[in-house]
Amino acid sequence: MKFDIKRVLVIANLAKPRAERITEDIRTYLGNQGIEVVVFGFRGKTADPQLDHFDLAVSLGGDGTVLYSSRVVHKRDIPILPVNLGDFGFITEVTDDEWSDVFERYRSGLIAAGPRLLIDVCVDRGGERVGQYVGLNDAVISAGGISKLIKLSVDLREATLGRYRADGMIVATPTGSTAYSAAAGGPILHPEMDAMILNPICPFTLSHRPIVLPPEEVITITVESAQRTSILITVDGQSELSLQSGDRITVRRSQHRAYIIRSNKRSFYEVLRSKLNWSGGPDA
């Protein structure tokens, strides 16, 4: 199935050294083919761009730029071509010299945009909604102080998991399973799976282990009283809110998805092996 691409949105993190040059390369390459290119460049935090109809979004930056881009375009189901200009690039595994080849392969129908689960995160306080976010990677509840345990209770739709004393709690998507959740001992899932990971951070009770939950599950986390430190929730490392005792955080699968185009030059497992240095040698 070929895709008729007429308008492309380029979301460029101009703090990256090569971003302006690659942006101009994209503008020239696509413009010569009669494709309209709209560029939204930013440095640091910025207001979201106003969206019209676009057939494709190109993310120029690192994984953080893809997370931002997914939040911007998710309601319109616009596929994202992520081009890596950062250091690590787990989601953005397309290099800056591959983008045109990947674009042509996608337009010709040789590769597809894989669906990624998004999470909706709501924070309610005293019957009032004080925060609402969308995440591609994770929602993290953590202490604002140093080396302080926090107390949380966790409920699912039909069960209570109980009380957790821990450094925090991560609810991660399969895309986010290779991020903070992996560093906290969570499992790595294929990014196009439908599931959520509930992962306590350094729990006081060692029997509290990460749990992989089905996508239809609804997770409710309550901040208990008598905390010894301030508490924050962070979504995708970009949206942050201070929490109070009694706050209820609800995490569920979003009705929307992110659609990420990946190069067919390497599989997800090859990216894992390369990025995580699974060589089996002395540096593994």
- Catalytic positions, please? 63
User: The tokens of 99 are what?
Assistant: 């983008």
Contact 78, 8 (CB under 8 A): no
Of the CA atoms within 13 Å of residue 130, those in its CB half-sphere come to 16
Contact 149, 125 (CB under 8 A): no
Rounded to 10 degrees, the C-alpha dihedral 131/137/139/141 comes to -140
User: The tokens of 268 are what?
Assistant: 């997800």
CB-based contacts of 18, cutoff 8 Å, min separation 6: 85, 96
User: The tokens of 250 are what?
Assistant: 């609800």
Helices (H) and strands (E) in the chain, counts: 5, 16
